[in-house]
Structure 1
Amino acid sequence: MHRCGVARDGAKWNGGVKTRFGRHPLQGFSSRQERQVEVNNTDTAVVFIDPQNDVLSEDGVAWDAVGASVTENRTVENMERIFEAAKAGGYEVFISPHYFYPTDSGWRMSGPLETSELETHTFARAGQLDLTGFRNSGADWLDRFKPYIEDGRTVVASPHKVFGPESNDLVLQLRKRKMQKIILGGMLANMCVESHMRHLVEQGFEVAVVRDATAGPRHPVWGDGYQAAIINYGFFAHALLSTDEVLDGMR
């Protein structure tokens, strides 16, 4: 078992009050209190959301909105570092992908993001069982992630259809392997990642979000999605860590 302890101010262990992979009461909260993460490769899973071209590649349809955040956070590089550490350390890795099929165009009600995704063919596939045109499309994995995702060991859940995992089998796959703790990252920070975080917390998992293994959109009217997500992670996640801190704990 490995521990990854991080103070609220970003300092390493300083003798403050410890909590197990937990959060502190809002009253009496001190920057000296440490958030301690205990991870091991028997009950801790790495879960990445939407590691796909449309949101992580410069050629993706969402790059104009998310590119600055992805670049500043070094999101792709940090996700790859976690992939590498997970595979080297024997941690189970789960992917919750996002796909739209032609029949999804029949939806009669959609929010603004869903409408935009359907109009721009974000994460579009030819069909549930039809891989025509899929390879290297916007819905495909980012090329540098393929060796980790397509190694025959990574668990790829069925696709989520809106934001959270309520519509796919991610929770079932985690439960069947007796996973209890989640190291969470991927795209987009304030949408699918935050929705997954909230649902996994509600399902009784302990969730650590990796702050620089995600990124969010910047919109001229709606604002900075990444900053909005970071605020909510601080309130809801059991820990909010950097990639360096996560890797220290996984060693």
Structure 2
Amino acid sequence: MAVVACQAGHLQVSRPRPAAPTTEEIDVNPTDTALVLTDPQNDFLSPDGATWQLVGASVEDNGTVEHIEQLLVAAKNGDYPVFVSPHFYYPTDHEWMFGGTLEKMMHEIGMFDRTSPLTGEGLPGSGADWLERYKPYLDDGATVITSPHKVYGPQNNDLALQLRKRGVSKVVLAGMSANLCVESHLRDLLEMGFDVTVVSDATAAANHPQLGDGYAAAITNFGFLAGAVLTTQDAVQELKG
């Protein structure tokens, strides 16, 4: 989602470069491995979402929406625990005194806004809500929904605690957006000792004429950082054992 606030009519979004996944096998099993999704929310993945003009081409080219669902099906069928690290902003968060380019943009356009951390009023169907097709998997009472991350990474939410408390040491990581929240989660989880595999086509990012190709940047860094980079097809096969 590497974008700045600008007039939508002036955007020139080009197609992202294809993913460059590895082909190596990964050692996963439900006792120590979890699927972790970042921001599977309408503002990123729905054509009605706040950032669709910026990320939509990448989402569609990668088949991101379908691929995330395929990972959810494989994880649930294989009894793998599923964790979601969401992005929510409450009214008090709009009182921040400073922020980076993307933080400011998200506040300006009301991205991921909720009325309160204590109520779900206004959440259903909003930009902060899950994509509708994911709700059977995420609202099943078994999926762990962590406290929200506020910028990009999980340093200030309880994702690591929730993983550790369940004996998880290996993570299959996907979601939105590639060069921001996914990459930030990758870097932090690696620093905390988790073995992280990234699913290259179950994510996407903005391609901005001034800021550049966020997806291509992420794919480059995934290759340098992650334990493995797999396509959804290969990741699903690994989850199936």
Distance 1:96 1:224 in 2: 24
Distance 1:99 1:174 in 2: 20
Of 175, 179, 182, the residue aligned with 1:186 is: 175
Superposition misfits of 4+ residues, deviation over 3 angstroms = 9-12
Of 142, 146, 150, the residue aligned with 2:131 is: 142
Residue 10 to residue 177, structure 1, CA distance change in 2 (3 Å): closer
Please state if 1:41 is matched with 2:30. yes
Match of 1:118, SS? helix
Deviations 1:191-221 (A, max 9, x none): 0000000000000000000000000011110
Higher relative contact order (CA 8 A, sep 6+): 2
Which has the larger share of strand? 1
Distance 1:130 1:221 in 2: 39
- Equivalent pairs: percent with the same residue? 54
| 1:176 paired residue number | 165
Give the CA deviation at 1:10. 6.5
TM-score (norm 2): 0.90
Of 38, 53, 61, the residue aligned with 2:50 is: 61
After TM superposition, list the pairs within 5 Å mapping 1:75-114 onto structure 2: 75-114=64-103
Distance 1:90 1:128 in 2: 30
Please state if 1:126 is matched with 2:122. no
Distance 2:119 2:236 in 1: 38
Match of 2:201, SS? strand
Distance 1:81 1:89 in 2: 12
Of 206, 222, 232, the residue aligned with 1:243 is: 232
| 2:40 paired residue number | 51
Give the CA deviation at 1:131. 1.9
Please state if 1:166 is matched with 2:155. yes
Q: Which runs of 5+ in 2 are unaligned?
A: 1-19
Q: Which runs of 5+ in 1 are unaligned?
A: 1-8, 13-34
2:207 partner amino acid:
R
Give the CA deviation at 1:36. 3.0
Match of 2:200, SS? strand
Distance 2:22 2:163 in 1: 32
TM-score (norm 1): 0.86
| 1:21 paired residue number | none
Give the CA deviation at 1:130. 2.5
Root mean square deviation, CA, Å: 1.1
Give the CA deviation at 1:172. 0.1
2:179 partner amino acid:
N
**Larger radius of gyration, structure 1 or 2?**
1
2:106 partner amino acid:
E
Distance 1:11 1:201 in 2: 18
CA contact (8 A) 2:22 2:229 kept: no
Residue 197 to residue 10, structure 1, CA distance change in 2 (3 Å): closer
| 2:194 paired residue number | 205
Match of 2:229, SS? strand
Residue 61 to residue 10, structure 1, CA distance change in 2 (3 Å): closer
Deviations 1:81-132 (A, max 9, x none): 0100111110000000000011011101110000000000000000111322
Distance 1:192 1:142 in 2: 17
